[in-house]
Amino acid sequence: DAGVIQSPRHEVTEMGQEVTLRCKPISGHDYLFWYRQTMMRGLELLIYFNNNVPIDDSGMPEDRFSAKMPNASFSTLKIQPSEPRDSAVYFCASSFRTRGYNEQFFGPGTRLTVL
Amino acid sequence: DAKTTQPPSMDCAEGRAANLPCNHSTISGNEYVYWYRQIHSQGPQYIIHGLKNNETNEMASLIITEDRKSSTLILPHATLRDTAVYYCIVRVATNAGKSTFGDGTTLTVKP
């Protein structure tokens, strides 16, 4: 199994531009999580999905952030418009219900820099 | 989710056992203890979890005190590749993610 796949691995953009981060979870996993990691705030959960349905988006910082999961093998996290304070590493993770929601497998992350 | 307290950093000699403590004095009866680690520039990696019994897998052992207010993650023979930030989190098994990972313990394995 290739594990959780994220793209791009690095993204540099200018303030005001739209940014789309992509995630392919492990096949068969029914939970998908988006996290953001910064030095100041650590690793924080933004949103998670169960069977492609958003369950809890209370961690999404503001309306500029949106996430979708159109099918079981693909999810996107979009920031529009982007701001310098959005610079962080964004991780996607997936898990399989019968192994426990909290046995999460993380992807390699996308390092986002907003200039 | 219950709050956890971990030392900010620890050192361990290569080949020796690394014992990483975690305090979770407000843990509830249905909350599990989970351990993850994050090697520099990589995504966090699940290690092990337990409710009240000691657990062991191919990566580590988890010792939970009888009152469940603290636990210890044991890496039996630490290698340089075990240098990472180790996170202890406490969570209900059916709660798929309400808490952050906290600051964790930075373990440095030295030759």
Q: List pLDDT tens digits, range A41-50.
A: 889 999 999 9
pLDDT value at residue B102: 82
Question: Tokens 């979890």 sit at which residue?
Answer: B49
Weakly modelled stretches of chain B, pLDDT under 50: none
Residue pair B82/B75 in contact (Cβ under 8 Å)? The answer is yes
Indicate the average pLDDT of chain B: 91
Residues from chain A contacting residue B90 (CB–CB below 8 Å)? none
pLDDT of residue B53: 86
Contact B46, B89 (CB under 8 A): no
Count Cβ–Cβ pairs < 8 Å, chain A vs chain B: 62
Interface membership of B42 toward A (CB under 8 Å)? yes
Residue A68 pairs with which residues in a beta bridge?
A: A76
Residues lower than pLDDT 70 in chain A: 1, 98-101
pLDDT recorded at residue A102:
72
Of residues B34, B38, B42, nearest to A102 (C-beta): B34
Res B12: pLDDT: 96
Tokens representing A87 are: 């610079």
Would you state the pLDDT for residue B1?
62
Of the partner residues A42, A55, A101, the one whose CB lies closest to the CB of residue B101: A42
